[in-house]
Structure 1
Amino acid sequence: MSRRVISLHELTEPVHWEVGNSLSSISRTTLTGGVSEGVELVTLKNPSIEISVIPTRGMGLLGGAALGYPLGWQSPVQRPVHPSFVDLSASNGLGWLTGFNEFLCRCGIGWNGPPGDDDEGSPVENPLTLHGRIANIPADNVSLFIDESDGSVGITGQVRECGLFGTNLTLEVEYRLPAEEPRFHVRDVITNDASRPAEVELLYHINVGPPFLEDGSVIAVSADAVAPRDPRAAEGIEDWSKCGPPESGFAEQAYYFNTSRLPTGHAAMVLANRNRDLAVEVAFDPDVLPHGAVWKNTAAVEDGYVIGLEPATDFPNHRSFERAEGRLKSIAPGEQLVTELSVSVLASTDTIQNTIAAAESLEPVIHRSAGNGFSPS
């Protein structure tokens, strides 16, 4: 495979690449003003899709567009926030929320889930903060690439989550856009750089708003079990797959899944619009990402009208609970955990209906109350 590689800091003007009738491009922008001062965006584009990656924010993905439709959501956090303006320990450990507006961000990698002390973890990391540190650590060794063999374009970068007496992990990220299709591929490699085994948690928080989300939209997950996170989610368990209109004051609901393989060979999480002619699909290997969550926050648009599709290594409970349930991943010194997923925009009614039907045919066991090993009761 032949790659043309460009360091991020060598990218002083947009680069265009043509293969056949397909024209792809890579460009870089440094934001100025307010909490976005110094935030770098790298935009990858093919004729069908464009995405903007944020190396400054842990290689998260701000948003983009596919087939002319916007990817992302309207967060109350209106601009990308430089990590220097995010105090993770603020608001009783919920400071992560003050920088949260991405289409795709990672929760982890030393921990995710709610804040609180972990008596079996490192004292220097206590109290754990909401969803971990990785989304607020700037990346280094960022490079762009063009694959001359197939016309795909991509970006790679490393994010180091480390500290004396704490975790010592490296996350290597790759995003790749094919030459023409409305999808992108993500490949992450987590390496334990310490001399002792490391616990790892990784959840992909993929946040989708209109036009995919509207009154009457449907969610589909290939799974063998689904459970509410808490009593509030249990109130809506019978309608977990249905989406309502924006509702001021809506209290979020979250549902947990043990993911399963479709006949196509991968697991999938899908959000489709009311007419089933537009959808976002997240595809992944359930052997590597065996769990997942759906976050329903159908609040007023101004307050964040959004559905989260969240494949994960475990559930976003407190790390101590996930350890007790045996779901934490452990990586030996020098070893790696490799995760991959693809995010596609579907605009074929037949494809969308078939994918939803395949997921529904798995007939997951529905737990109607919180607990049951999925979450604290």
Structure 2
Amino acid sequence: MPLLAVKNQNGGKPALLTGRSFIIGTMGALLWSLSAFADETILTSAKKNIHLDEWSATSPAGSAQTWSVKKVTLHGGKQEGVDLITVDNGKLSFSIVPTRGMSALRAQMGDIRLGWDSPVKEIVNPVYINLLARDGVGWLDGFNEWMPRAGIAWAGHPGKDGANTLTLHGQIGNIPASEVSVSIEKGNPGRIVVKGLVNEISMFGSNLTLNSEVSTEIGSNHIVFNDSIVNNGTKPQEYQIIYHSDYGEPILEGGAKFVAPIKELRPFDGVAAKAISTFDSYLDAKPGFTEEVFGIVPYGDANNRTSVLLHNAAGDKGVSLTYAIDGLPYFALWKNTGAKGEAYVTGLEPATSFPANRSIERKAGRVPTLEPGASQSFTVDFAILSGKDAVNAAVDKVKAIQAGRPTNVNTETIKPCCLSVVN
């Protein structure tokens, strides 16, 4: 029995995913948990001119916990040529889109989905996206993922920033990854890791790299995003990132609740200012609903880590996000409870700044800078919460971080004028 069954684009017969040879008998399943196996499979490499159209790996027969990883290349319509990697850790599954900046398309655990129902049904290849379309909101033409990143040279609203014209939420989500690999790490239970390198580099422009690592322990209810932004240039560079995680049914519904340890709460604009008393609760779908956006400065615990969550009305389905506020000190809550199937979605968005245009954020002192050769790391741990005990434990964790400290409601809008577009 092989340690690991692997299929690639060259015929589909199982092979060992390793640089060594293994001969394993009936003890294969046991040896899997004890082995030193942690080899990395390269799926895409611009440096080495590698691209595997199809590839898969599965747990060995007889494993106590089954898992699988599958990579395919999509065809038809605007998704022609898009790479999709689906990871199943035996308890939950999720899909990563290397062609779209290592965005996460969706996640699923039982009857709980992370994601939403966008009118954009295909996974759109960036070659069909014009970010400048419709006055800079072309990003929306491909927006259907659970967890796209906005950034990294800029994020937030479109418009002028001095001589520069900025498009909605930057470019990183529409840049294909140059390097993509999958690792199955040793251990009990072991870990599946999808890595990607995305370059946002231009002559006389930004010179930044996003190193993305999305991982899950086998059999766990967690998906962890571990990223870094690197300044490759010879001068300081500004950067921004928003973890634009988006949710629809079944977590989002009338009576759903957002829970967070809040130090400061601000409305993004005049629309949000009128709704600030109900910022943490949700309505049923209402066609024509005008989006509401709230800026939050969260409290952290003794280690400067915070946790927020969204749960359904019954309090038995939810998702929590846990991360360090050192690198992600701001948070945007986007509420867009419009018509189902096209606009019923909410965004929970840890970020380096609020989602206003970079010129506004810079003036407020919320745009960080990287020195030449420097990097900044971010880790966001998403946990899918199934059952009231799991949701209540997450709520208690938030309460412990709040620790009775007050929430300052700042009525000054983040955006000086105009209605929001999408955040």
TM-score of the superposed pair, with normalisation by structure 2: 0.84
CA contact (8 A) 1:75 1:302 kept: yes
Provide Cα deviations, 1:149-192, integer angstroms capped at 9, x if missing partner.
24211110110001111100010100001111111111111110
Q: Structure 2 matches for 1:131-150, cutoff 5 A?
A: 131-150=169-188
For residue 16 of structure 1, what is the aligned residue in structure 2?
A: 58
* Matched position secondary structure for 2:310: strand
Q: Which amino acid aligns with 2:391?
A: I
Deviation at 1:82, TM superposition (A): 0.4
Question: 5+ unaligned residues in a row in structure 2: which ranges?
Answer: 1-35, 44-50, 418-423
**Distance in structure 1 (CA, Å) of the matches to 2:345 and 2:289:** 11
For residue 274 of structure 1, what is the aligned residue in structure 2?
A: 313
After alignment, is 60-69 or 303-312 more displaced? 60-69
**Distance in structure 2 (CA, Å) of the matches to 1:39 and 1:11:** 10
1:160 aligns with 2:187: no
Structure 1 pair 93–331 and aligned structure 2 pair: CA distance change class (3 A): same
* Matched position secondary structure for 1:3: coil
Q: Structure 2 matches for 1:306-325, cutoff 5 A?
A: 306-325=345-364
For residue 139 of structure 2, what is the aligned residue in structure 1?
A: 96
Q: Which has the higher contact order (CA 8 A, sep 6+)?
A: 1
May I ask how many residue pairs the two structures share in their alignment? 369
After alignment, is 6-15 or 308-317 more displaced? 6-15
* Matched position secondary structure for 1:14: strand
Sequence identity (%): 34
Deviation at 1:330, TM superposition (A): 0.5
1:176 aligns with 2:176: no
Structure 1 pair 38–356 and aligned structure 2 pair: CA distance change class (3 A): same
After alignment, is 149-158 or 190-199 more displaced? 149-158
Provide Cα deviations, 1:32-80, integer angstroms capped at 9, x if missing partner.
1111111110001111111110000000001121133222100111111
Q: Which amino acid aligns with 1:14?
A: S
Deviation at 1:281, TM superposition (A): 0.6
CA contact (8 A) 2:53 2:72 kept: no
For residue 290 of structure 2, what is the aligned residue in structure 1?
A: 251
1:27 aligns with 2:62: no
CA contact (8 A) 1:24 1:153 kept: no
* Matched position secondary structure for 1:80: coil
Provide the aligned C-alpha RMSD in A.
Answer: 1.8
Question: 5+ unaligned residues in a row in structure 1: which ranges?
Answer: none
Provide Cα deviations, 1:76-113, integer angstroms capped at 9, x if missing partner.
11111100111000100111111111000001000011
CA contact (8 A) 1:103 1:206 kept: yes
After alignment, is 147-156 or 136-145 more displaced? 147-156
The structure that has the greater radius of gyration is 2
TM-score of the superposed pair, with normalisation by structure 1: 0.94
- Which residue of the other structure, out of 149, 152, 156, is the alignment partner of 1:106? 149
For residue 41 of structure 2, what is the aligned residue in structure 1?
A: 6
Q: Which amino acid aligns with 1:59?
A: M
Q: Which amino acid aligns with 1:243?
A: Y
- Which residue of the other structure, out of 217, 221, 227, is the alignment partner of 2:266? 227
CA contact (8 A) 1:73 1:103 kept: yes
